[in-house]
Amino acid sequence: MRRTLSLPVTLAVALVVAGCGGGSSSSSTSSTKAASKPSSGCKQVPEPKPRHVKLKSPPVTVKTGEKLTADVATSCGSFQISLDTGNFPKTVNSFVYLAKRGFYNGLDFQRVVPQFVVQGGDPLGTGAGGPGYTVVEAPPSSTSYRRGVVAMAKTAVQPPGASGSQFFVVTAPADAGLPADYAVLGKVTSGMDSVERIAHLANPALGPQGGPPRQPVVIDKITVH
């Protein structure tokens, strides 16, 4: 994923949270993934094949303020996200729509940036893919992206709060230092140890900007309760 953001923070920030709603990009590919032994607690799984998807915008099924939790089962364990339907109902609605369709099943976490984020949900696996539509729900200027926050990735040219299917989980020790440009999906309430297993698969050879993990990490299924 080489589409960048011009952010007044670190190099890692400038390079990571980019692709999402669809389109093309000269992104990092699976060829950069280094062979390694399975990470402790992570199953060895094959790399997913790219999927080209073109869906219509989802109907509204999520109610503002509705209590919803997403259980994300991965090859590195499961984690749970308390979905923020109060502040970002359109964003959550899109995520729930995709999850219930099985869109995320078999997709990978295509980017890991040490001490920053893990990012997945791209059907192409390159950082350039999406569901074929875009949702826009601009976050308040006071929005912060602290450890455990789950938000939606976007390109530099898209408006604040734009999202497709790609999401990232903040693994920075405190605040990631991102501007209020990314729609918040929710926050990890349990299973952060599973997220850390993914984070520990960062490939040192790729430097601080991160990239594909040292072994494939696949989403088995996302179930919304």
Query: Can you give the pTM of this predicted structure?
Result: 0.85
Q: Are 187 and 150 in contact (CB under 8 A)?
A: yes
Pair type for strands 117-120 and 167-170: antiparallel
Structure confidence at residue 40 (pLDDT): 73
Residue 130 has pLDDT above 70, yes or no: yes
Give which of 225, 218, 223, 224 is closest to 77, Cα–Cα: 218
Average pLDDT over residues 194-205: 96
pLDDT number for residue 37: 46
pLDDT at residue 2 is higher than 70 = no
C-beta atoms surrounding 66 within 10 Å:
14
Does 15 have pLDDT greater than 70?
no
Euclidean distance between CA atoms 61 and 39, whole angstroms: 38
Where exactly are the structural domains of the chain? 11-18+65-224
DSSP code for 200:
T
Residue range 171-186, pLDDT digits in tens: 999 899 999 999 999 9
Rounded CA-CA distance 186/194 in Å is 17
Q: How many CA atoms lie within 13 A of 36 on its CB side?
A: 20
For 27-82, what is each residue's pLDDT tens digit? 333 333 443 444 578 999 999 999 999 999 999 999 999 999 999 999 999 999 99
Residues 6+ apart with CB under 8 A from 106: 48, 218, 219, 220
Strands across the sheet containing 111-113: 111-113, 117-120, 167-170, 149-152, 184-190, 77-83, 69-74, 219-224
Q: Which CATH superfamily is domain 11-18+65-224 in?
A: Cyclophilin-like (2.40.100.10)
- pLDDT score at 39: 55
Q: What is the mean pLDDT of residues 15-23?
A: 44
Q: Could you please report the per-residue DSSP string of 73-107?
A: EEBTEEEEEEE-TTT-HHHHHHHHHHHHTTTTTT-
d(CA 206, CA 112): 10
